[in-house]
Amino acid sequence: MAEHESLEFGKADFVLLDNVSMEEFMANLKLRFDKGRIYTYIGEVVVSVNPYRAMNIYGRDTVEQYKGRELYERPPHLFAIADAAYKAMKRRNKDTCIVISGESGAGKTEASKYIMQYIAAITNPNQRAEVERVKNMLLKSNCVLEAFGNAKTNRNDNSSRFGKYMDINFDFKGDPIGGHISNYLLEKCRVIFQQEGERSFHSFYQLLRGAPDSLIRSLHIQKDPAAYNYIKVGGQIKSSINDGADFKAVADAMKVIGFTGDEIQTVYKILATILHLGNLTFGVDGDVTLIENTKLVSILRELLSTKEENVEKALLYRTVATGRDVIEKQHTVQEASYGRDALAKAMYERLFCWIVGRINDIIEVKNYDAKIHGKNTVIGVLDIYGFEIFQNNSFEQFCINYCNEKLQQLFIQLVLKQEQEEYQREGIPWKHIDYFNNQIIVDLVEQQHKGIFSVLDEACMNVGKVTDEVFLQGLNTKLAKHAHYTSRKLSPTDKSLEFDRDFRIRHYAGDVVYSVVGFIDKNKDTLFQDFKRLLYNSSNPVLKGMWPEGKLSITEVTKRPLTAATLFKNSMISLVENLACKEPYYVRCIKPNDVKSPLLFEQERCRHQVEYLGLLENVRVRRAGFAYRQTYPRFLQRYKMISEFTWPNHELSSDKEAVKRLLQGCGFDHDVAYGKTKVFIRTPRTLFSLEEQRAEMVQRIVLFLQKVWRGTIARMRYRRMRAALVILQAYRRYKVKSYFREVHRRFKNVKSMKDYGRHVKWPTPPKVLRKFEEALRSIYNRYADKISALQVRAKVACLEALKGQRADLGLQRAWEGNYLVSRWDEGGQLCFFQINHFNKAENRAVLITDRHLYKMDPLRQYKPMKSIPLYNVTGVSVSPGKDQLVVFHTKDSRDLVVCLQGMVPANESRIGELVGTLLSHFRIEKRKLQVNIASPIQCSLNGRKCTVIVEPKINQSQPDFIRSRSGFILAVPGN
């Protein structure tokens, strides 16, 4: 069923009507039309009512709504039937066809264009150039064929005056790769005559009203259609058609399709030639037939690219071969006029067939090998003339209505008959539904020896004067007892029929009266061989190619050509056979009124179409007591969420048993029947109830799925984030390690470099170490600028010896080492010291080199006073306080006691620097130096033991040594 439409719009499927009757059918059809719903289903048949207005239901958004959906999932639409045909073709590898039927003005041509538009829109997701080219050709060909094959009639501004069947070929991927167009029975008599209020083919008016002035001049024509006899009736009729804009659109389309400039010019010349032929008149001078307006002959000669005398001769004479003799027979005025009109009709028909053939040459499948590329499949679209009943119905209407009889018979065979056979096949008991089988009418027309076409051909083959009345007499003789045929002779009291002129056929669409006037001539379709030779001998290669039979010599004997009726009958039989071997889909078009109003719904007008289209019988057979049927798997797929036994998947023995359990659980078991492969539901109410329950469950399922999916997404995001963090951490560790390894590699030998590695380029750090690198580089630069490697070792040695035992070690400042600005004999490290020698305080300087410790007098330009070899120094003692007391212990017990004083800046502690420097040096020499931190400090002065005590005193301004009983007291300023 069609979903998502409220009942305010009526039933979207006629099968769901509560009561199947003409009244309810028409009421539902009218309600949907009034509500703007022009499409309705009958099962898988689309009923379309012409809206006579533009509707915004064919855009890209609508295409996406129907793409890939099942027929019943969306509201009725042409796109749904097109998608169904496409899916059947693509999924099941089946050839399909869409048959569009209905009377003239019902919207068949527009329906075919929308179907083509949809098929083009849903293919080619990758925008491949070749596929786009084919699709563009197929769509553009519609524009060209409409210009040359459609005309304005009293019923329709854009009526197809020819039948068109288009095959679209698809490759195994479902992309179009080409196509082929077949055309049927162009109404060429419209070239020379139109009924009052109608026009000839669009192409003539487009040329006159849209061609540029230069082209108009070159063709020797004028822009007023009323100036030409063949189309003057149409030229006086106002129309909504914009011929000027259409001329440009058709010209552009022909260029896109691939028509060359010369070919397009030839098309225009042929149209102009036909217009000029219509103005050509004949007169009589004695026994001689003359052309009255000879200037036109010169124009025709120019347009046809031939000789003027040949044109005039072909128009006035007929060449006849009798054995070996060749005779030129002059035409009478009537014969010349007939030949002129026959030439005009034949030229237009040949032009139209050439255009179709040219399009086929361009869009046909090329270089396709089934063994390599796989089997190609086909979707056929049939847009053919609808059933016609005019005031005067002639040979063309008879052929058109016969065509519709054939298509209706196909519809009956493939739809109605199949419907009834389906019930029998499924084993469902039901009551037989009678329907009108129009095979009897088809046989009336095409049966061998007895059919109307056979009688017509037999009359045309008779020797001597053959008239239309003779043909009618033949019909009366052979069809006198046929229930669907009558004439005035057979029904003398029927005054609606004229004697010796009319006959009536009871078609499936109603009774139609035909006039036999012109049947013989139109069936013979005689065109003198002189015209064929004239056009074949043209110097225009395009025109010459349209008339290949013109190369035959005058004396060459050929077979009698097939008549127009036989050709058309054969083409219809071939068409039906072609459609019958494909999976068919149907669009039944209905015309709501005859005045093209978007608001008017004429009940009787539409009722008549519903009757002759057999739509009500279609509904009855489709239902046959059951409103809906579906295969068990598909039914479960749609409704399985309703029952706990079938959701999400059943565990029963078969899908049929699962469907039974589902329907029993819902309480609908009494309203269904179970076939071999399908379930059948009797009343629409059951189906509506199932849909309501499904809609309710779908909301709950959607919420559940949203919950699960959101949780899944959250977990996926968490795992991705966690994985990303693990990767980031591992990568960060890798980058940090790589950075440190690179720093170590570059700077491991800087101690041996003269500039301590200042020239070494630092590696680029990872982002996380940028600030660390800046600090590291700052530290390195500071130490590289101010200290050597020996000073680093000295600080390390000081830290190891004094850390935690003395407060101020001076580690935070730079250890300059050389505090004495003078020269010395031995290089080394210099420090200032204040020295107290025995009882007398004296200012002295101490110079420590890598060999000696010198005591120097700063007042005598640092003259050395005493030297102590470093190998004689055994240890150093310092106090734990902030004083600057240092005692150097020697092997000869002549220790040196000093207090570092007079430093710049003042109060700067250099005990740590002194101790660290000595320790570092001794370690390099691989000797041991004892460092003591004690208070008081025990020492030996000139071999005598003594003690040095540090005492702070309040009034003491600077450190000073004071002798005591046990030794010395170092008085330091107190706090």
Averaged confidence pLDDT in the chain: 84
Could you give the C-alpha distances from 23 to 18, 306, 611, 868, in angstroms and in order? 12, 65, 12, 139
The pLDDT score that the predictor gives to residue 856 is 84
CB–CB of 332/289 below 8 Å?
Answer: yes
| 770, 641: one domain | no
Q: In the predicted model, is pLDDT for residue 831 greater than 50?
A: no
Give strand pairing partners of 485. 505
Same domain? For 931 and 862 the reply is yes
Most confident of 11-15, 269-273, 895-899: 269-273
What is the span of the domain harbouring residue 872?
A: 832-973
- CA separation (Å) from 808 to 859, 888, 972? 30, 20, 16
Residue 24's pLDDT is what?
92
Are residues 767 and 683 part of one domain? no
Would you call 283 helix, strand, or coil by DSSP? strand
d(CA 254, CA 263): 10
Span 633-656, average pLDDT: 82
Q: What is the pLDDT of residue 141?
A: 86
pLDDT-derived band at 899, boundaries 50, 70, 90: confident
Say if residue 836 is in the same domain as residue 967. Answer: yes
Give 456's contacts (C-beta < 8 A, 6+ positions apart). 471, 519, 520, 523, 563, 565
Cα 865 to Cα 630, 739, 861: the distances in Å are: 126, 55, 11
Give the pLDDT band (50/70/90) at residue 424: confident
C-beta atoms surrounding 99 within 10 Å: 23
pTM for the complete prediction? 0.65
DSSP assignment of 446-479 equals H-TTTSHHHHHHHHHHSSS---HHHHHHHHHHHS
Do 659 and 676 contact (CB within 8 A), yes or no?
no
Tell me the per-residue pLDDT of 473-530, one tens digit each, with 9 for 90 and over.
999 999 998 999 999 999 998 888 899 899 999 987 788 999 999 898 888 878 888 8
Q: Please give the Cα distance from 925 to 919 (Å, whole number).
A: 10
pLDDT of residue 374 exceeding 70:
no
841 inside domain: yes
Residue 158's pLDDT is what? 82
Q: Which residues pair with 954 in a beta bridge?
A: none
747 pLDDT above the threshold of 80: yes
Q: Which two tokens stand for residue 931?
A: 């460092």
Helix axes 22-34, 615-623, angle to 10 degrees: 110
Q: Is 72:1 a contact under the CB 8 Å cutoff?
A: yes
With bands split at pLDDT 50, 70 and 90, how would you rate the model's confidence at 829?
Answer: very low
| 409 pLDDT above the threshold of 50 | yes
**Which residues define the annotated binding site for ATP?**
102-109
Query: Quick one: 891 and 763 in the same domain?
Result: no
pLDDT at 837: 47
913-932 average pLDDT score: 89
**Banded model confidence at residue 432, pLDDT cuts 50, 70, 90:** low
Residue 922 is assigned to a structural domain of this protein: yes
Check if the beta carbon of residue 116 is closer than 8 Å to that of residue 142.
yes
- Token pair of 96 as six digits: 């399909």
pLDDT of residue 260: 92
For residue 548, count CB atoms less than 10 angstroms from its CB and return exposed for 0-12, middle for 13-18, buried for 19 or more: exposed
Structure tokens at 364: 């046909």
How many other β-carbons are positioned within 10 Å of the β-carbon of residue 781?
Answer: 11
From 297, 253, 5, select the one nearest 142 (Cα to Cα). Answer: 253
CA distances from 471 to 96, 457, 459, 499, 561 (A): 41, 9, 6, 13, 19
Lowest mean pLDDT segment, chosen from 142-151, 222-231, 840-849: 840-849
pLDDT band at 873 (very low <50, low <70, confident <90, very high): very high
DSSP state of 56: S
Domain presence at residue 796 = no
Q: Given this model, what pLDDT does residue 238 score?
A: 61
What gap in Å lies between CA 755 and CA 877, rounded to an integer?
Answer: 36
Q: What single letter denotes the amino acid at residue 155?
A: R
Which segments of 56-189 does DSSP mark as H helices, in order?
A: 60-66, 78-91, 108-122, 129-149
Is 902 part of a structural domain of the chain? Answer: yes
- Judge whether 64 lies within some domain: no
pLDDT band at 124 (very low <50, low <70, confident <90, very high): low
Where does residue 620 rank: exposed (0-12), middle (13-18), buried (19+ CB within 10 A)?
buried
pLDDT at 544 exceeding the cut of 70: yes
| Claim to verify: residue 699 and residue 738 sit in the same structural domain | no
Model confidence at 788, in pLDDT bands (50, 70, 90)? low
d(CA 625, CA 166): 37
Q: Are strands 863-869 and 828-832 parallel, antiparallel or unpaired?
A: unpaired
Going by pLDDT thresholds of 50, 70 and 90, the confidence category of residue 638 is: confident
Number of domains observed in the structure of the chain: 3
Q: Are residues 968 and 836 in the same domain?
A: yes
The values of phi and psi at residue 19, to 5°, are -125, 125
The H or E element containing residue 169 is: strand 163-170
Residue 129 has pLDDT above 50, yes or no: yes
Do the beta carbons of residue 936 and residue 916 sit within 8 Å? no
Whether pLDDT at 830 is above 50:
no
Confidence band, pLDDT 50/70/90 cuts, at residue 1: very low
Band of residue 828 on the pLDDT scale cut at 50, 70, 90? very low
Q: What are the tens digits of pLDDT across the range 309-332?
A: 889 999 998 887 766 677 888 889
Evaluate the CA torsion angle 640, 646, 648, 653 in order and state its sign. Answer: negative
> Per residue in 563-605, pLDDT tens?
888 888 888 888 888 888 888 888 999 999 988 889 899 999 8
Q: Is 585 in contact with 85 (CB distance < 8 Å)?
A: yes
User: What per-residue confidence (pLDDT) applies to 562?
Assistant: 83
Q: Which burial class, exposed, middle or buried, applies to 929 when counting CB atoms under 10 A from its CB (0-12, 13-18, 19+)?
A: buried
Alpha carbon distance 639, 695 (integer Å): 10
Between CA 473 and CA 466 the distance in angstroms is 12
111-140 average pLDDT score: 75
| 722 and 689 within one domain | no
Clarify whether residues 680 and 730 are in a common domain: no
The pLDDT of residue 212: 93
**What pLDDT sits at residue 247?**
94
CA pair distance 833, 820, nearest whole angstrom: 11
Distance, CA of 920 to CA of 791 (rounded, Å): 8
CB of 174 within 8 A of CB of 162?
A: no
pLDDT above 80 for 385: no
620 part of a folded domain: no
CATH, residue 875:
2.30.29.30
Same structural domain, 928 and 850: yes
Tell me: pLDDT of 235 over 80: no
pLDDT at residue number 348: 95
Both tokens assigned to 353: 């067939």
Does residue 786 surpass a pLDDT of 70? no
What span, in angstroms and rounded, lies between the C-alpha atoms of 702 and 709?
Answer: 10
**Burial category of 970 from C-beta neighbours within 10 Å (exposed 0-12, middle 13-18, buried 19 and up):** buried
**What is the per-residue pLDDT for 675?**
86
- Return the minimum-mean-pLDDT range out of 119-128, 172-181, 343-352: 119-128
Within its chain, how far is the Cα of 781 from the centroid? 64
Q: What is the pLDDT of residues 765-781, one digit of tens each?
A: 888 888 888 888 887 77
Q: Are both 674 and 701 inside the same structural domain? A: yes
Bridge partner list, 937: 948
Report the first-to-last Cα separation within the chain, whole angstroms. 107
Nearest to 319 by CA among 543, 563, 559, 556: 556
Task: Please report the pLDDT score of residue 323 as a whole number.
Answer: 65
Lowest mean pLDDT among 241-250, 481-490, 797-806, 904-913: 904-913
Catalytic residue positions?
104-105, 109, 156, 159-160, 386, 388
In a domain, 27, yes or no: no
* Residues 6+ positions from 663 with CB-CB distance below 8 Å: 669, 672, 679
Helices (H), 581-641: 603-612, 615-623, 632-639
Does residue 559 fall inside a structural domain? no
Q: Which of 926, 266, 184, 297 is nearest to 546 (CA)?
A: 266
Q: In the chain, what percentage of residues exceed pLDDT 90?
A: 26
Whether the Cβ atoms of residue 282 and residue 292 lie closer than 8 Å to each other:
yes
Is the model more confident about 417 or about 595?
595
Annotated binding site: 102-109
| Average pLDDT score over residue span 883-891 | 90
Task: Quote the percentage of the chain above a pLDDT of 70.
Answer: 90
Distances (CA, A) of 391 to 196, 489, 512, 569: 11, 21, 10, 25
Decide if 433 contacts 412 (C-beta within 8 A): no
Predicted pLDDT at 475:
92
Cα angle 566-507-589, degrees, rounded to a multiple of 5:
95
Q: Is 761 helix (H, G, I), strand (E, B) or coil?
A: coil
Quickly count helices (H) and strands (E) in the chain.
Answer: 31, 33
Does residue 767 share a domain with residue 657?
no
